[in-house]
Amino acid sequence: MRSLERSGTFQLGDLRVRRLGYGAMHLSGAGVFGPPQDRDAALAVLREAVAAGVNHIDTSDYYGPHITNQLIREALHPYPDDLVIVTKIGVRRGPDGSVLEATSPDELIRAVHDNLRNLGVDVLDIVNLRNVFDDAHRGGELIDAGLTILADLQRQGLVRHIGLSNVTPAQITAGRRICDIVCVQNRYNLAHRSDDELIDRLADDGIAYVPFFPLGGLGTLQSSTLSHVARLVNATTAQVALAWLLHRAPNMLLIPGTSSLTHLRENIAAAGITLPDTALEALSGGAQIASRAKGGA
């Protein structure tokens, strides 16, 4: 059995994926903007991920913009029958690389068609509607209006399944009144666990939880406990963090991203790591784990 297969599988609607997937955000240029520094390396990462058994890729057409999806198409099209590509809408990039909301009906519809065109598919497996508003009222309005649009596109056959990103439990509940939600993508990792209760509720309902920034995002996860466990199981701290997430809940799907073949292989190997009960208790309990800025003290 390949190490990736040890992560198990989970059902996304009528699609079954391995629980350790791949996030394609870092394949474009610095700041997720412009072309990659090494296009051949980006293509190689995608091809090796799928060759290793990854069948869940997370992306968006605003990565680049357009570039990451075009790379996926160049590297992998025609796609394997079991490959599930999840994309998200609600954001666009300005000419200067700025990240801007794109939440009007026309912008959401255009984003779906951009993803279809650049990925080279007739239907998108899963589209996540991303909440870009800190204000709960505006966020709620976006969920209501955006999911209504996505549900209509689903009826047209352009979208297979629908998910939500960067949302509160109340927004998820409201969204589920409009359409079926197969996955929720929020920030969660060893240092940021505010969604603990939500994860368990979603698991009971058979809805996947997909943590973004599983390894800290703009920072790196650090603690003496994490380092100790890594030495104990002869792994990197990043691999331990991923292994802990896989253990955390059966509905947890991971999409660690990288543009490095070395890091890709390390991430995939995390699926084969077994953490002792004592290590799980230490990591899940009161261990102080921080996310520190990369390069910081």
Cβ neighbours of 287 (radius 10 Å): 16
Structure-block tokens of residue 59: 């992306």
**Nearest in space to 172 (alpha carbons), one of 144, 148, 194, 150:** 144
Count Cα atoms within 13 angstroms, Cβ side, for 283.
27
Q: Running DSSP on this structure, what letter comes out for residue 259?
A: S
The helix-helix angle for 277-284 and 224-232 (nearest 10°) equals 160
End-to-end CA distance of the chain: 40
Positions annotated as catalytic residues are 63
Q: Running DSSP on this structure, what letter comes out for residue 29?
A: S
Quote the CA–CA distance of 55 and 52 in Å, as a whole number. Answer: 9
**Nearest in space to 211 (alpha carbons), one of 201, 227, 196, 230:** 196
159 contact partners, CB below 8 Å, separation of at least 6: 112, 123, 124, 126, 127, 150, 153
Q: Running DSSP on this structure, what letter comes out for residue 254?
A: B
Quote the CA–CA distance of 256 and 20 in Å, as a whole number. Answer: 8
Strand runs labelled E in 71-131: 84-89, 91-93, 99-101, 124-130
Asked if 82 contacts 9 with a C-beta cutoff of 8 angstroms, the reply is no
Quote the CA–CA distance of 141 and 131 in Å, as a whole number. Answer: 10
> Which residue bears the tokens 């549900």?
151
Say whether 70 sits in a helix, a strand or coil.
Answer: helix
